Amino acid sequence: MFIWKIWSIRNLWTFEGVRADLMIACSKTLSLLGEFEAAQTRESGPLTASDAPSEQSWIPPVPGIFKLNIDAAVSKDGKVALGMVVRDQWGDVLMSGSKPLARQCSVIEAEAEAALFGVSYAYDAGFRKLEITTDCLPLLKLLESQSQERSPVQMIVFDTLDVISKLDSHVFSFFPRCCNKVADSIAKLSLSYIEERIWMEDCEFSVLPLVLADKWYELNSKGQEIFCRSWLPKEGDQIKGVVCFCHGYGDTCTFLFEGIARRIAGSGYALYAVDHPGFGLSDGLHGYIANFGDLIDNVIEQYAKIKDKLIEFSFNMIGRPELQGLPRFIFGQSMGGAVALKTHLKEPDQWDGMILVAPMCRVSEEVMPPALLLKAANLLSNVIPEVKFFPTQDLAELAFRNEKYRKLAYYNMICYSDRVRLKTAMEILKVTKEIELNVNKVRSPLLVIHGAGDKVTDPNVSKFLYENASSKDKTLKLYEGGYHSILEGEPDEVIFTVFDDIIKWLDARCTA
């Protein structure tokens, strides 16, 4: 596993000029190794080949199995290239690779080479339970046949089956190309390469939108497609409660939040998250809030779908009946804290508790525009609301105390980091004033977490919220010297302490 991570680091340096942090690489490798071990020890039912689906998107494997998608590309001038990708039940990429062939061959022979390439590297990387998926029906028939023909194609198939025989379990499946877009795109990209590339827990940057498009979308009442994510405890583990997350300004429920979500799910909680309209991968003008109430209504609408019925979980709509009747918590970070608070004020009896991390109850003076500029902006926001007006400071510099994690934040290409739009700024300031005036109406069990050194949202307002909320069950945790991104931007020991505090608080309210 460490060898594969080192190879991935080498590719980043060679092809993208990025020198990865070795501690981060090793940490991710150990995490992946843990997933392998868990998957290999988990019992699962017998594997059966999938029929071609009616849905026109990638279909995830059953829990405990990894899906290997393979494909080949043949150009008009005869060049041949191969692509492969290994993904888990959540659609996350665990491994991908591309390889240009040095020779010309037929399409079926190229598809067979892709199968051998994908299966060999997946096996070498430690994957032992595979669903092997191709969009080439003739290849599928060759893999499933017992033919002893000695043709060039069949010889490649023999080599592929020899590797497959070493797996603990496998199944072959056929899906149309629309369900195999990532492997297909990787193969086409590698037509222009001169050497093979292997990535662990990553893929070619240009195919990332295809990976993300395979996630889960819900249509809201305004006709907008809302990007959704879910993370569940491992199959067979007890689920203690349900946590619904609201992200901050400019952010997304992908990228750095992935680690946060997995840690919470690994502690026994089903976690659900959405990208707000206009942010991340949801519909809407990027970075634009026409009415803050729209964000609140969207959160209420989306999370209502998992509060009163079986969970409609991602691609296959897998029901988890054990989620019914469990305690449900709303979890807001930064601007998401304001969304969570306003959601609670609008529906005070719908949640069993609220976790607020660096909640945006008032914008810090460090990032507040001058008063004269605010007055002008307020007038202009009704005339040219969508204009990018307010210059922004480097929020990563302000939010991340740990330099190595700050560097990672700059790779978040989904976030909105441009100037703040006029109407967005006015709506944010308006809602923070509303919250300040109504904190005494907050009566949900409450955990407030804030870095004492936060220069984006004011930790003194968290103290004000704690002191004036009507909640009988309320806890305030301030972390000396902590910056705004207390969950992902601090030294590791601080991050672990914050997570421990959150899980202990949840556990105490789910086991009482």
Residues that are catalytic: 334, 454, 484
**CA 98 – CA 101 distance, rounded (Å):** 10
Encoding tokens for residue 317?
């709509």
Measure the CA angle with vertex 358, ends 351 and 243; round to 5°. 30
- Other beta carbons within 10 angstroms of residue 470's beta carbon come to 12
Q: Measured in whole angstroms, how far is the alpha carbon of residue 446 from the centre of its chain?
A: 26
Encoding tokens for residue 151?
């043709």
**CA 265 – CA 267 distance, rounded (Å):** 5
Q: Quickly list DSSP for 310-355.
A: S--BTTTTB--GGGTT--EEEEEETHHHHHHHHHHHHSTTS-SEEE
Place of tokens 């307020």: 378
**CA 359 – CA 337 distance, rounded (Å):** 4
**CA 225 – CA 228 distance, rounded (Å):** 9
Q: Amino acid identity of 197?
A: R
Encoding tokens for residue 284?
């809407």
- Pair 59, 53: CB distance under 8 Å: yes
**CA 332 – CA 249 distance, rounded (Å):** 11
DSSP 423: H
**CA 384 – CA 364 distance, rounded (Å):** 25
Measure the CA angle with vertex 310, ends 213 and 64; round to 5°. 60
Of the candidates 133, 327, 126, 351, the residue with the CA atom closest to the CA atom of residue 240: 327
**CA 483 – CA 400 distance, rounded (Å):** 6
Place of tokens 């990025």: 18
